[in-house]
Structure formats: structure tokens, C-alpha cells
Chain A
Amino acid sequence: MSARTETWTWLAQRASAAVLAICVVVHLAMMIGAVRGGLSAADILGRTRGSAAWALFYGLFVVAVSIHAPLGLRTIASEWLGWRGRGADAACAMIALSLLALGLLAVGAVTL
């Protein structure tokens, strides 16, 4: 990739990591709270359905994961497998789109 693309890619991975640091903490705290509070699946869905705030939060979470994970895999493919260039970039783009699609479908299922 060109220097410009590589630089934006690097920034995207750092920025998405910063978003994930917050999202993961909030997500874990909520999961532990839900389990310890004895909330059922129906209780949880009752709170998330129609909630724009939860849709936005988990939507952002999914977008950050879809950016961060494929870029990390791209680095691992380059350094551990010696797989670089267009093929590796295309594979990572496919992983990114898959994560985005599956994640947004899941967010839609619990918030819409």
C-alpha cells in the first residue's frame, strides 16, 4: 500500500483501539451486572428494543471491531505467514465486511 494509505490504516487501528478500550469495559460491566442482577433474556431485550442509545453504542462497537480486527490480522498475516500484498489486503477486507454485516445484524436483532 502507499504511504498515505498505510498511514491512514495505522491511524484507523489506533483510533479503533481507543474506542474498543471504552466499549469493552462498558460491555463487560453490563454483562456482569446483568448476570449478577438476575436479568432474563426477555428483561434484557425489553431494555434494548427500541433503544437508540444501545443501538448507537453497539453499532459503534461493531464498527470499531470491523476496523481493528482485520487490520491486526493483516499484520499477523504479513509477519507470521509472509502473506502480503493485494491478496492479503482483499482477504482482510472480506473479513472486515463479514464482521460488519454479522455484527450489525446482531445489533439490529436486539435493538429494533
Chain B
Amino acid sequence: MSMIEVRVWRGGPNGGYRAYTVPREDAQTVLDVVTYIQRRLDPTLAYRFACRVGMCGSCAMTVNGKPRWTCRTHVADVARDDRLEVGPLAHLPIVRDLVTDMREFFDKWARARGQFQATSTRRDEFARVEPASPSRRAVDAAIECIGCGACYAACDVVAWNPAYLGPAALNRAWTLVNDARDGARGERLAAVAGDAGCHACHTHESCTERCPKHLSPTASIAGLKRASVMAAFRGEL
């Protein structure tokens, strides 16, 4: 049976990588490897997962230097030289081993006014939104984010400015800016256009490169830049 050497981050922020030897299997995912280590080699290993099929977004980790969903990453695709290194997501506080504290990540969604602000009640008529309208298409392009944090971990601007709202929160704000039913467009643009918001993006596109859902937070952020400029011209910002 062939084996693979796996280095896994152990401990808190001042921890380090520890090496394990794991049997190679066909169609083996990185999550399979981490699970093998916890169940067969070291039950104290802490990591996070739930669905195992790319729906929940909880198993994102740093695999050979890049943020990835471990459940949808085959070992064969990332460990061609039989080297595998698994660490916690970057730019988030490490709780222990492969588990990060996601609070700041989701607090930034709230800071970017990521909550839908209703303008009608259940007793009103349904809003009519033309599926082919530009704003609805813009929502469609960005709405499938499941909040895994891969884009946030890949973003250079988050590393340089810890207050930066990040690609996921700004992407969420962009879906609401384009939601005809939402009533907080002005407040939301004001929330995302400050010095830790959309204008701080350098358009490196690391978020777009690393998004497992193949979304483009970069395009959403560019949309927010345009929308905030138009709002500024109209005196609405």
C-alpha cells in the first residue's frame, strides 16, 4: 500500500506542523486524510466539517498554501509530488489545530449591512422582479456564496488592513444593493465605501481565483465601486 507524508498544523497560533503518514486511497480527498489522522492516528486533532459534499462551507483549510474546501479537493490534484501540508485558514485567529475563529469574518458581513432590509410585509403583493433585468442577473452571479471563508483567507488586502471588510462581505452587500425589494441601499453603500471597504480592493482577484463556487467577488466589489461613485455624484452618499 502506498503512503503519503502529511504535515498538519497542531496547536494554537504559536503551534507548528507535525508529520503523519497516511495510506493513499483512490479518489481520496484531503478531508479523508484529515479524518484518517483523527480516527486512526491522533484523536486529539481538531478540525471542522459537516456535509462532506461542498454544500456547507465549513471544511475550508489551507492545503499546500492555498485555501480550499478539503471535502472537494482530491489528494491526487494537489499532492503530485506526494507532499501534503494542511493548515488552518489564513487571516483568522486559530482556535486549535485546523479550527479557526470565524467571528470576525461574519461580523464583517454585518458591518457591510449584509442583512436584507424589508420594505413590505407578508400581507403585501409579491415583488415583481424581471429575471432578465441587469440587477437580477447581478444578484444571480453573486448569490451562491456559502460563506466558507476561502476568499477571505486568499485576500492580500485583509492581510494588510485587518479592518478590511473582505471579499465575501462585500459580495453579499452587492447582492443586496441589486435587490429591488431591499430598503437600505444608501446605508449599505455608506457602510461599504469607507476606508476599510470596496475602494481598498486592489483587484488582485485572489478571491475570484480561489472561490470554490467560481464566483467573482472582484466583480461584485467593482460593482460597489461604481455604485458608490454614482451615489456620490447624486449626493446620496
Interface residues of A (CB under 8 A from B): 1-4, 6-11, 75, 78-80, 84
Chain B 172-194: CB-based contact to A (< 8 A → 1; otherwise 0): 00000000000000000111111
Binding site for A on B (CB under 8 A): 157, 160-161, 189-195, 197, 199-200, 225, 228-229, 231-232, 237
Q: Is the CB of A7 within 8 A of B228?
A: yes
Residue of A10, A78, A80 with most chain B CB atoms under a 10 A cut-off? A10
A-B interface, 5 closest residue pairs, ranked by CB to CB distance from nearest:
A79-B160, A3-B193, A10-B199, A3-B190, A4-B237
Asked if A7 and B195 make an inter-chain contact with CB atoms under 8 angstroms apart, the answer reads no
CB distance from A64 to the nearest CB of B (A): 19
Interface residue from A9, A11, A79, A84 paired with B157 (Cβ < 8 Å) = A79
The answer to whether B229 touches A11, judged by C-beta atoms less than 8 angstroms apart, is yes
Flag if B232 contacts A4 (CB, 8 Å): yes
Known contacts A11-B229, A11-B232, A6 near B195 by CB under 8 Å: yes
A7 B193 Cβ-Cβ under 8 A: yes
Query: Are B160 and A7 touching (Cβ within 8 A)?
Result: no
- Which one of A3, A9, A10 contacts B189 once the chains associate, using CB atoms below 8 Å? A3
B237 (CB) vs chain A CBs: closest residue: A4
Can you name the residue of chain A whose Cβ is closest to the Cβ of B235?
A: A4
A6 pairs with B194, CB closer than 8 A: yes
A78 vs B202: C-alpha distance in the bound complex, in angstroms? 13
Contact B191 A3 (CB under 8 A): yes
B89 to chain A, nearest CB (A): 21
Chain B residues with Cβ below 8 Å from A10 are 199, 225, 229
- Give me 20 A-to-B residue pairs in the complex whose CB atoms sit less than 8 angstroms apart, sorted by A's number: A1-B194, A1-B195, A3-B191, A3-B197, A3-B228, A4-B190, A4-B232, A4-B237, A6-B195, A6-B197, A7-B199, A7-B232, A9-B199, A10-B199, A10-B229, A11-B229, A11-B232, A78-B160, A78-B161, A79-B157
Give the most central of A1, A2, A3, A4: most B CB within 10 Å: A3
